[in-house]
Every structure is written in structure tokens, then in C-alpha cells.
Structure 1
Amino acid sequence: MARRGETIELAVLGLLHEGPLHGYELRKRLNLILGWGRLLSYGSLYPTLKKMLRERLITEVDSVPAPVTGRPRIVYRVTDAGTAEFHRLMAEVGPNAWEDDAFGIRFNFFSSTNLETRLRVLEGRRTRLEERLARVRGDLEGEQKRPVRSDHYAIELRRQRVEAVEREVRWLSDLIQAERDRQDERGTAPQTS
């Protein structure tokens, strides 16, 4: 499983790959990518930025005054080494690519990857979720068969989890099919896993 710091680094590199940003704007955009359930604090962001500066993946290019306080805001830009690292990370297709924390970030920057990589990550994510779906369905069925069941709300929560995973599996299947259709339009033979 990818460390949270590595996941944040990938997201920072991806955002800076699109253009220079200051820390406040970076945090705001990172939180949009991460979603409401995983908000990023400045206490997590700035140590990551300092580490990336030491590794020369990013650089400080300028400072701009904050609108209200007038205090300088440092603007960060990705370096050539950071761009190379971003592309290397985006090309990875192993289990870290389809885990919960990393998948959303990778998906956000999918336009930076090739078709084969996108398909492998999408298929890996779908397989992982199908495994999860079998577990949560089994949990729900087991709960419903127990002589002394949990209360109605606990069962409903399990049912909601099953439906959420089913929905994501359908969504992934649709995306995979769309990618394969694009592949067919380009005249390349579709890959299967």
C-alpha cells in the first residue's frame, strides 16, 4: 500500500505539472482531488513540500502577496526531475495504483498516461473492488442469516456499502469499455487481462 506522503507527492507533482501554484492554492486543489473524507492540513502539506524541495522535484520560483494579509506566498514549480518522477509514478501499474488512496489521484491525472496504462489501472481497480464486493456481500448475507441479527440500521449500513461498491464496479466497467472502444477506433488490438 502506498504511503500517504507518496500519494500527496504524486498529487503535488500532478498539479504543478499543470502550472506553478502557491501553497494555499495547492492545498485547496489537493482537497478537491482527495475529497471531503480526506482533507489535507497545512501540517501535512508543508513538510511534503520541504521534502520535495530537498529532493529537487520542485522549486520555489517567486512569492506573491496574500490578498488580505499582504504576507508573501511562495510559488512552487515542478522541475525537470519532478516532471520525470511524475511520469514514472503515473506509469506504475501495480497494486498501489488501484488502492483507495492512490486511485483517485491517479485517475485525476489519467490524461498524462497512455491507453494501456489506463486500462491496466482501471482493470486492477475493478478486480480489487470485485474482491471487496464478494466480502461485503458475504458479510451482509451472513448477518441476515444469523439467528440473532444486528439491528435494522447496521444491516442497512452493510447494504449501502454493497450498493456503493456495485456502483463503482459498474462505473469502472463502463470506463474500461470506453477505453477499449477508443483503442478499437485507433486500429490497435484490444488487450485483455
Structure 2
Amino acid sequence: MQEAPRLSLRWIVRLAVLALLASQGPMHGYAIYKRLLSIFARARLISPSLVYTVLSELEQEELVEEAGFVEGAPSGGRRLLRITEKGLNHLAEHGGMAWRLFGELLVLLVQGEAEARLQIGDYGGLVNLAGEVIGLSEKLRKIGERVLPETGGSEEVR
């Protein structure tokens, strides 16, 4: 088993791209960028150059490959990319650890934001933050039920 690189935004984005392609099927770069923007919206860390650099790296490492071409895009067309078998293996090997680390980071950020909003008296913002956390929790619960329908999720997830 290959050792995982140090936690970095690029490493997380690489795994997020692979996860998107594994779950959504072939996508073009701009669609991947827009989806990552929505996933990482709170952190505002995603840029087109980061996403396209990561896509290029993944393609060079044969973790993704071209899967066709979409005609009629403003630039004349867009290449569709799909995850390869090697990419699926990479995601299976490193994905769990990355998402656990990312989850821990998000918990710290949410706790810090909540404490700051409480200190400055931004109770409306605090309520909005709580609503976002509840919404994310519900999405994760539904994914867990889909993946583990017989048990409704594992004890560790509940």
C-alpha cells in the first residue's frame, strides 16, 4: 500500500474529482469545477486553475481518461473524462482517510464559526449555520442508508 501524501487541498480535490467521476459518471472539466465549487462553497478554496491542474495530473497518472466529447460548448466542445480502474483503486485506498480528515477540519471550522457568531451576537447567522449542519447531516444519513440498506448504517456512523 502506497503511503498517502500530506494532507493538502490539492490532495483532497484529487480525491473529490475521483469520487465525483465514480458516482456521477463521465463529466467535463467545467462541470467538475462547478460541482466542486458547490461542495467547497463555505471554504472558497476552489479555482478553475486548481481543478484543471488536478485533472491534468490525474490523466497523466492514468487515474482518469477521456470518455468522449460534448459538442456545442462555448469553446467549441468539451472533453468528457471518466475514472479508470486504477483511479477506482486509488480512491478506495485513500478516500476514507481523506474524508475523515476533511470532516475533522470541517468540524473545527464550524465550531470556530459558531463560537465567533455567538461572541459577536450574530444569532441569526448561528441559526443559519446550525441549519446548514443539520442539512449536511441529513444528506450523509441518506447516503449511508443507500450504501448499507440492510442495517441502516453502521453503529460507527450513527
* Cα drift, residue 82 of structure 1: 0.9
Alignment check: 8 A CA contact 1:57 1:79 kept: yes
CA distance in 2, matches of 1:47, 1:66: 24
**TM-score computed with the length of structure 1 as normaliser:** 0.54
* Cα drift, residue 85 of structure 1: 1.8
* Cα drift, residue 129 of structure 1: 7.3
Aligned pair partner of 1:19 in 20, 25, 30:
25
- Is 1:10 aligned with 2:3? no
Radius of gyration: which is bigger?
1
* Cα drift, residue 13 of structure 1: 0.6
Q: Flag structure 2 segments of 5+ consecutive residues without an equivalent.
A: 1-5
* Cα drift, residue 15 of structure 1: 1.3
Once the two structures are aligned, what percentage of the paired residues are identical? 25
**Residues 89/188 of structure 1: CA separation in 2 closer, same or farther (3 Å cut):** closer
* Cα drift, residue 95 of structure 1: 3.5
Once superposed, what is the RMSD of the aligned Cα atoms? 4.3
- Alignment partner of 1:60: what SS? strand
Q: Which amino acid aligns with 2:19?
A: G
- Is 1:58 aligned with 2:64? yes
Alignment check: 8 A CA contact 1:136 1:161 kept: no
**TM-score computed with the length of structure 2 as normaliser:** 0.64
CA distance in 2, matches of 1:61, 1:186: 36
Alignment check: 8 A CA contact 1:129 1:165 kept: no
Q: How many residues align?
A: 148
CA distance in 1, matches of 2:52, 2:7: 19
**Residues 2/161 of structure 1: CA separation in 2 closer, same or farther (3 Å cut):** farther
Q: Which amino acid aligns with 1:23?
A: G
**Residues 79/191 of structure 1: CA separation in 2 closer, same or farther (3 Å cut):** closer
- Is 1:136 aligned with 2:115? yes
